[in-house]
């Protein structure tokens, strides 16, 4: 009986030990996983936690994704972190508060907005004799007297009221080749007008019609691409016209009763004469003279005929 109980206990212990080994083995596979299933740069990884260790020379960094943090391996630590190397693992550590980037925990290289760098530390105000530079976020030697803010002691970033900035210097009046920009309070070069290419000529027309005339006008335009500043070169012409001649064609229209008519009236014909050149007017004058001569000759012939009839009624 005792032998049977001992055998049963040994069997149960063996089963429990086997299950523990299997569980440990599966957990180990989930963590180590090998390079094939891990993200780039990972030496070992987990499905739940991402990278666990990194390949040589890479830094381990806990990256936040929503409410979770996932391990990743990076070549350089992100902003506000600095790299720490060790024989076991290289890690990214957080810089001090108000420090956007740092060389190590005690030496900042760039401060957050509202703080100024001085000897590797970020301060709200600068020591006496130094001036806070907002563009650089550093404590620098005092700006020139005309500067409101500056990059350094000899380069202004913004001038005092009433002065204009040009190449880091402040001017009461801008140089001749520049013009004043009162919005930016800067001296800026003048902007010249720019126009595009000419478009195609429009159809020949007259009084917004394309029929009922022989001589008309055609137009083409071009677009203004850049308007000039007050002292810039003005824009050239953007529209031009030229005379054109086409074959006269009747304009469609209807008279009472549905008859077609030519809408070219006498007024159009009279105004069309203004488009004729001098040669045309001379030809018309000669033709008129010839017609007048023919009329006079015909009148003389009619008078002679009347006299003959009067003298010789038979």
Q: Per-residue pLDDT tens for 259-307? A: 444 444 444 444 444 444 433 443 343 444 444 444 444 444 444 433 3
Residue 67 covered by a domain: yes
- CA dist 280 to 265, 266, 286, 287, Å? 21, 19, 10, 11
Residue 209 covered by a domain: yes
* pLDDT over 50 (residue 53): yes
Separation of alpha carbons 169 and 102, rounded Å: 32
Q: How many domains does the chain have?
A: 2
Tell me, what's the pLDDT at 36?
A: 60
Residue 213 covered by a domain: yes
Domain that holds residue 200: 191-231+238-250
Residue 171 covered by a domain: no
Tell me, what's the pLDDT at 136?
A: 87
Residue 78 covered by a domain: yes
What are the phi and psi torsion angles at 46 (to 5°)? Answer: -135, 145
Residue 220 banded pLDDT, cuts 50, 70, 90: very high
Query: Which of 94, 114, 136 delimits the end of a domain?
Result: 94
Residue 52 covered by a domain: yes
Q: What is the overall mean pLDDT for the chain? A: 76
What are the phi and psi torsion angles at 144 (to 5°)? Answer: -60, 160
* pLDDT over 60 (residue 23): no
Asked if 93 and 105 count as a contact pair (C-beta separation under 8 A), the reply is yes
* pLDDT over 80 (residue 228): yes
Residue 55 covered by a domain: yes
- Between 200 and 29, name the one with better pLDDT: 200
- Rounded average pLDDT over 226-241: 93
Token pair for 306? 């009347």
Residue 285 covered by a domain: no
Tell me, what's the pLDDT at 4?
A: 52
Separation of alpha carbons 276 and 6, rounded Å: 134
**CATH number of the CATH domain containing 49:** 2.10.220.10
Query: Which of 71, 94, 117 delimits the end of a domain?
Result: 94
DSSP E strand boundaries for 124-190? 130-133, 138-141, 147-152, 155-159, 164-166, 169-171, 179-181, 186-188
* Category of 310 on φ-ψ map: left (φ > 0), alpha (ψ -120 to 50) or beta: alpha
pTM summary value: 0.41
Token pair for 171? 């001017």
Name the DSSP letter for residue 205: B
- Rounded average pLDDT over 231-252: 90
Token pair for 246? 């086409």
Tell me, what's the pLDDT at 209?
A: 86
Query: Which of 220, 250, 280 delimits the end of a domain?
Result: 250
């Amino acid at each position: 009986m005792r032998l049977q109980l001992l055998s049963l206990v040994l069997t149960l212990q063996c089963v429990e030990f086997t299950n523990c080994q299997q569980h440990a083995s599966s957990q180990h596979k989930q963590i180590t996983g090998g390079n094939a299933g891990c993200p780039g740069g990972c030496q070992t990884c987990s499905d739940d936690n991402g990278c666990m260790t990194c390949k040589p020379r890479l830094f381990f960094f806990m990256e936040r994704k929503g409410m979770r943090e996932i391990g990743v391996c990076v070549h350089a630590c992100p902003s506000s972190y600095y790299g720490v190397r060790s024989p076991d693992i290289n890690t990214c550590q957080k810089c001090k508060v108000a420090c956007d980037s740092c060389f190590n925990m005690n030496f900042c290289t760039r401060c957050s907005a509202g703080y100024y760098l001085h000897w590797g530390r970020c301060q709200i105000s600068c020591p006496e004799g130094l001036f806070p530079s907002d563009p650089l976020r550093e404590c620098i030697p005092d700006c020139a007297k005309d500067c409101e803010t500056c990059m350094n002691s000899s380069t202004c970033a913004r001038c005092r009221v009433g002065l204009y900035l040009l190449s880091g210097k402040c001017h009461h009046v801008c140089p001749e080749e520049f013009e004043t920009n009162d919005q930016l309070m800067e001296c800026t070069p003048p902007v010249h007008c720019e126009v595009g290419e000419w478009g195609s000529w429009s159809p020949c027309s007259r009084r917004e019609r394309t029929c009922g005339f022989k001589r008309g006008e055609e137009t083409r335009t071009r677009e203004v691409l850049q308007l000039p500043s007050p002292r810039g070169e003005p824009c050239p012409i953007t529209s031009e016209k030229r005379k054109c001649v086409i074959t006269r064609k009747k304009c469609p229209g209807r008279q009472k009763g549905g008859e077609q008519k030519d809408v070219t009236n006498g007024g159009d014909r009279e105004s069309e004469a203004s488009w004729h050149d001098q040669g045309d007017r001379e030809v018309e004058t000669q033709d008129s003279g010839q017609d007048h001569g023919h009329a006079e000759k015909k009148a003389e012939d009619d008078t002679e005929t009347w006299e003959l009839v009067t003298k010789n009624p038979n």
